Structure 1
Amino acid sequence: MKKRCKMIIALLSAAMVLTACAKNTSDTDSNKANDTKTQDTSKDAAQDDKETEKTKEYQAKLDMIEPSAYRDASGLSLEEGAYISIIGKGTNDDFWVQVKKGAEQAGKDINEQLGYKGKKAVKVVYSGPSDKDNVDEQVNILDEELSRYPAALAISIADAKACEVQFDQAGWNGTPIVTFDSSSDYPGISAFVSTDNSASATEAANRLAEAMGESGEVMLFMQDSKSQVAQTRENAFVSQIQSTYPNITIVETYHMDQIDTYKNQMIQELATDKQAADITEEEVIDYLFEKHPNVKGCFASNSDAMELVLDEMERKNVSPFIVGYDVNDDSMEALKAGKIDGLVVQNPFGMGYAATIASARAALNMGNEAFVNTGYVWVTKQNLNDEAVQSILN
């Protein structure tokens, strides 16, 4: 009997040990599972934070775009492999590099929304003249892109009258056209994506007038005489000065694409023996400032025009009040040094993004706003480090 009891006690003890081991194993497995789940959750959170941070890099630029539908790639159910062509007026300078980045980001966002990858991905391709504002080169690019039958095409027109034949062809091919930065009066354009050039040039006029004490002589330096964007800025600036500031006189307007006219004018007025081909643009600008020695203010319609004025300041030690458009390394340094009084800083990233969204909408017959405003900020030495300004500059 004692022997039987000992056996029962041994069996019960073994069962208790096995139960304890099973419990410990289960607890360990559970802990491992919880640890794995925690790690996965942490990875997901880190990925979400990374994506959020990535979005923050350009979200402020998208927030400037009106209407808000052009900030967002959702709802654009393009076919797999659809091709959207974006044509600018250049490829290398800061402005067009940012336009390209915006267009490509919109393409990435469209593909992410649709889940397209590889060969199925929507293709957004940016191109432009290697020689900025070269009308003939841009028209050739337009011909090539139309021969690829894109789902839609967006273009910043270098010459308002140069693309009408190509736009007719696009209409025959069923390719919708969107314009950005600079448009034309062609009736079939689906949307125009741009800075409000009239409002921004009017503000530039007011700011320059204020700096000048609302009196004195002004010279305008325009990037060209052909593009709609240059014409709009010039007309708005001149109109505001003439209608609001009677003691300010615009004494000269220089168009960078009409340099030969000024060379010939120099030859006649200065009775020089030089040939037009031997006269540099620097000499032309010198001539204009010598012709108008009392110039108190200058307006530059883009970064190239601004460079002419800044170079003159260095060569001839002149110091007019200066306002203009766009920012690059040189103009930023001049702004910090107080040589430039203020700049209209556009939103080229947002422009490229919204032009791509408008093109996708046109390809899908979703309808577009006639004008999509990509916004601008007025930047001075005083507000340069403000968070709102830095979010647009960076």
Structure 2
Amino acid sequence: MQRRRKSIIGLACLMSAMLLFSSCGKEAEEEKQDTQTQADTEKEEPKEKEGQGNLNIISPQAYSNVDGLTLEPGTYISLIGKEAGTEYWKMVEKGAKQAVSELNSALGYKGEDKIKLNYSGPSESESVDEQINILDEELARYPNAVGIAIIDSNACSVQFDLATENGIPIVAFDSGSDYQGLQSLCSTNNTEAAQTAAVNLATALDNKGKVLVFVHDSKSTTARERQSGFADTLAKDYPEVEIAEVVYLDNLEDVKGLLAEKKNQEAKINPEDEKAAQKEDFTDEQAIQYILEQHPDVTGCFTTNVDATQKILSIVNEMKQSKDTKQAEAAENLKIIGFDGGEKQMEALENGELEGLVVQNPYGMGYATAIACARSIANQGNEAVVDTGYVWVTKDNMEDKNISRILY
């Protein structure tokens, strides 16, 4: 009887062990299947390459890839921006270098055979003279093509003629000119982008009020297009939103002169006296603050690039700390819409200092410009205008996937 009981107990233990091993085997198989499923999913959904979001909004899409392009070994492409080292221009350079890297990979070029790209720009923002000097130096190296963001639309014609005579194609990017020999313009649709800014600023102001427009310069086509696109939209669709003044930030000398006269009058100094204040004694920031103070009823501002936006933000933030209660309150309630991205711009947007931003696509612009240069060298023809796109960014949508992957 005791032996029989032991046998039954032994059999029960054996059955339990078999069930345990069966369960473990089943779990292991299920885990293996889950792992395989995950691996298959990863194969089906390859990781998006860096910058793909920026390339997706380029039109035509032929300028977002290197397909079908063949260049000779050692081809040299020169890109000249409006500035050397700021975030925007670094992204232009990054996009252009990515395009050239893909070309080298596609063509199998290594070492000295590689297609070479050089990006350069003025050390001082939007210096026309320095940009022309850089262009002269680059043309002396006989590049196979030049891409240039033209600061002054009336400059460079002599250099462009020389390039044409030597068979060097010129592609404009960011900002162009009326020069007839340009192969292509790779740029934001500035008129449309400014219209977007106008609609959103008018909406923020409940479709009424006065605004100031701060334009980054009086020379470039980008400045003209953004200013006119903004003004035309307000005049057509928002007649109760009035532009109190358009201020060109490269033309503040008259305002500085007024400040000097005012200081002299207050101090009762003869203007001919050697100790009298001169317009050179005043900064751009002081001139801009004076303009803002002359328009206490203004409730909105539109700034046309990153430099203009940052200058206005800095001055308005100072005015918010003013002991003059009315001035501080007016600055606090001022709604600002600007252009371009970058870390500081995003911080200002998140902090509520900016109502919104029209953010361009400098990475895509650089990429498309390199492709346009390559097409010119290969005699494949170019679109007259390549739209590199933009996005409207607010505090509410800046984390959205389709927006965030384009920001810089």
TM over 0.5: yes
Which residue type is aligned with residue 65 of structure 1? Answer: I
Determine whether 1:102 maps to 2:95: yes
Give the 3-state SS of the residue equivalent to 2:79 in structure 1. strand
* Structure 1 position 328, deviation (Å): 2.1
1:302 alignment partner in structure 2: 305
For 1:137 and 1:254, how far apart are their aligned partners in 2? 24
2:147 to 133, 149, 154: 154
CA-atom RMSD, angstroms? 1.9
User: Residue deviations 1:348-389, cap 9 Å, x none?
Assistant: 000000000000001111110000001011000010110011
1:291 to 290, 294, 297: 294
1:336 to 350, 353, 372: 350
2:197 alignment partner in structure 1: 204
For 2:107 and 2:189, how far apart are their aligned partners in 1? 32
* Structure 1 position 274, deviation (Å): 2.4
**TM-score normalised per structure 2:** 0.82
Determine whether 1:246 maps to 2:239: yes
For 1:351 and 1:249, how far apart are their aligned partners in 2? 33
> Is 2:342–2:407's contact at 8 Å kept on the other side of the alignment?
no
User: Residue deviations 1:127-163, cap 9 Å, x none?
Assistant: 1111121111100110111111111111000111111
1:193 alignment partner in structure 2: 186
For 2:279 and 2:259, how far apart are their aligned partners in 1? 9
**How many residues are paired up?**
348
For 2:297 and 2:344, how far apart are their aligned partners in 1? 25
For 1:59 and 1:206, how far apart are their aligned partners in 2? 29
Of all paired residues, the percent bearing the same amino acid is 46
1:312 to 315, 334, 343: 315
For 1:290 and 1:390, how far apart are their aligned partners in 2? 36
2:249 alignment partner in structure 1: 256
Change (3 A) 1:241 1:266: farther
Which residue type is aligned with residue 330 of structure 1? Answer: K
1:376 alignment partner in structure 2: 390
**TM-score normalised per structure 1:** 0.85
1:358 alignment partner in structure 2: 372
User: Residue deviations 1:269-311, cap 9 Å, x none?
Assistant: 6746521111122211221111110110000101110112211
For 1:253 and 1:268, how far apart are their aligned partners in 2? 22
Instruction: Give the gaps of 5 or more residues in structure 2.
Output: 1-38, 267-275, 321-330
> Is 2:355–2:394's contact at 8 Å kept on the other side of the alignment?
yes
For 1:327 and 1:391, how far apart are their aligned partners in 2? 12
2:271 alignment partner in structure 1: none
Instruction: Give the gaps of 5 or more residues in structure 1.
Output: 1-44
User: Residue deviations 1:81-114, cap 9 Å, x none?
Assistant: 0101111111111100000000100110111110
Determine whether 1:348 maps to 2:362: yes
> Is 2:261–2:277's contact at 8 Å kept on the other side of the alignment?
no
* Structure 1 position 66, deviation (Å): 0.5
Which residue type is aligned with residue 372 of structure 1? Answer: V
For 2:394 and 2:290, how far apart are their aligned partners in 1? 29
Moved over 6 A (4+): none
* Structure 1 position 265, deviation (Å): 3.3
